[in-house]
């Protein structure tokens, strides 16, 4: 007689079945709350872009709305991750979509800042090549081994989010030229951390490959 739990097989055959919000050990639905929040974050990216386009560089209410939307959306990154871990709602779909959601949102913000001539294109290219390159590399390496996130990776993400948020908010209308100096300092820190943590991640991967040989 088999001791296998029939609910496990059912959940694999019908991934939308399973737990949506509640904690437990049974399989979680791919449509669980954590994944829904992640998908919403991805869907907010085009709304964010549309608001900035509607503003047209006028630093008006659409610009402020876009900035607030970005801040709220990027803040949900911690929320869906916490829900997935604390309630055991981790799924393959969530593992795939979570980093993509972050890159789509921050990437859209960086590109739009460059389109508005408020950020040099080289900064956008450096950050996006690092972010998408490491994400692709990580997915490819999952077949062989799991490489932990680079040291300082969380700090890099926080600094990126803060730098982009400050760049989006038209604070120069309130505090003058000092806001531009602050934005430059924050974005410079974000670029440095982005490069350093990317190199550190690749270095860790190289060390692990050597150990596996």
What are the φ/ψ torsions at residue 72 (nearest 5 degrees)?
-65, -45
According to CATH, what is the number of the domain 6-212?
A: 1.20.120
Residue among 156, 163, 141, 148 at smallest CA distance from 195:
156
Q: Which residue has the tokens 């890099």?
A: 156
At 140 the pLDDT is 78
Task: Give the pLDDT of residue 68.
Answer: 96
In this predicted structure, what is the pLDDT of residue 69? 96
Q: Tell me the two tokens of residue 59.
A: 């630093």
* pLDDT lower than 50: segments of the chain: 1-14
**What is the DSSP-derived secondary structure letter of residue 28?**
B
Q: Which region holds residue 24: left if phi is over 0, alpha if psi is between -120 and 50, else beta?
A: left
Q: What is the per-residue pLDDT for 194?
A: 95
Domain positions in the chain are 6-212
Separation between Cα atoms, residue 26 and residue 43, nearest integer Å:
29
Which tokens sit at 177? 């030229």
Predicted pLDDT at 151: 64
User: Considering only CA atoms, which of 37, 109, 34 is closest in space to residue 68?
Assistant: 109
Task: Note the pLDDT of residue 6.
Answer: 43
**How confident is the model at residue 144, as a pLDDT?**
63
Q: Which two tokens stand for residue 78?
A: 């911690």
Whether 91 and 154 have beta carbons less than 8 Å apart is answered as no
């Amino acid at each position: 007689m088999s001791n296998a739990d029939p609910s496990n097989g059912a959940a694999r055959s019908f991934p939308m079945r399973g737990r949506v919000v509640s904690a437990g050990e049974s399989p979680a639905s791919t449509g669980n709350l954590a994944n829904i929040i992640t998908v919403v974050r991805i869907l907010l990216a085009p709304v964010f872009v549309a608001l900035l386009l509607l503003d047209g560089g006028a630093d008006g209410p659409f610009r402020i709305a876009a900035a607030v939307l970005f801040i709220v959306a990027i803040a949900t990154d911690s929320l869906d991750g916490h829900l997935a871990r604390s309630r055991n709602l981790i799924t393959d779909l969530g593992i795939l979509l979570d980093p993509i959601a972050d890159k789509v949102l921050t990437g859209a913000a960086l590109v739009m800042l460059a389109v508005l001539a408020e950020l040099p294109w080289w900064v956008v290219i450096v950050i996006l090549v690092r972010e998408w390159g490491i994400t692709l590399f990580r997915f490819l390496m999952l077949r062989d081994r799991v490489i932990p996130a680079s040291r300082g990776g969380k700090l890099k993400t926080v600094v990126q989010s803060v730098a982009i948020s400050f760049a989006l908010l038209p604070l120069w209308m309130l505090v003058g030229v000092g806001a531009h100096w602050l934005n430059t300092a924050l974005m410079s820190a974000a670029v440095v951390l982005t490069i350093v943590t990317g190199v550190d991640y690749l270095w860790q991967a190289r060390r692990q490959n050597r150990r596996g040989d």
